[in-house]
Amino acid sequence: MSGLLRLALTKGRLEAETRALLARAGADVSPLLTPGRRLVHPLPGAGVEAVLAKAPDVITYVEHGVCELGVVGKDTILEQGRSFYEVLDLGFGACRFALAVKRGDDFFGGYGHRRAATKYPRVAANYFAGKGLDVEIIKIEGSVELAPVLGLADAIVDIVETGATLRENGLETVEDICPVSARLIVNVAAMKMKRSAVQDFIALCRKGLEAKA
């Protein structure tokens, strides 16, 4: 045991942004710059060792307590979050969930059978249930914008960042559902048993956020 807390980082853009945040707070993030094939990276000055993982796995590791801390998008939390503390909105990875259709289509008009494609079936189901709409949900693994283009679905529920993917595929937003950004999450037991170390890391993240402001 290293005695360090373990931080699960979502690979890709959230990892890069977290690295920048911790560097601004004074931590040495150089091990993450040359990761090679190593999967665990102690970060001097941050009190943590980082592991890189896919977003849903970040939540699994934190829920099971093998990682006390995690950085993951609110989109993944809304889709599969169960039990952990969400302690800090890190601000980066900002985008939104939206309902989109082919330009000019009237999704809410009429009473016919409607289908929506999405990578986020739970988010979509909650959204439509909240509106009292009976919509068939079709799970897609990526490039969801194809579904209305190919005629598989009448609409999509997906993440929109710049809007370019919608635009370039002849789609438009009908309604924004909710904003999304990266969150710092904490294992429930660790929040009690390792409170002081967890609070130190939260403070470090706050320092990094303030350094940017």
Contact residues toward ligand PRP (CB under 6 A) are 142-145, 158-165
Q: How many residues does the chain have?
A: 213
10 Å Cβ neighbour count for 210? 10
Q: How far is the CB of 157 from ligand PRP (least distance, A)?
A: 10
Instruction: Give the residue with the Cβ less far from ligand PRP, 143 or 199.
Output: 143
Phi-psi region of 211 (alpha: psi -120 to 50; beta: other; left: phi over 0): alpha
Instruction: Give the residue with the Cβ less far from ligand PRP, 38 or 122.
Output: 122
Q: How far is the CB of 141 from ligand PRP (least distance, A)?
A: 7
Q: How far is the CB of 72 from ligand PRP (least distance, A)?
A: 14
Q: Which two tokens stand for residue 195?
A: 């409170």
Instruction: Give the residue with the Cβ less far from ligand PRP, 13 or 38.
Output: 13
Instruction: Give the residue with the Cβ less far from ligand PRP, 34 or 162.
Output: 162
CA distance 49 to 65: 14
Strands, sheet with 85-89, edge to edge from the N-terminal-most edge strand:
40-43, 48-53, 5-10, 69-73, 182-186, 85-89
Q: Which two tokens stand for residue 154?
A: 């009448």
Q: How far is the CB of 147 from ligand PRP (least distance, A)?
A: 11
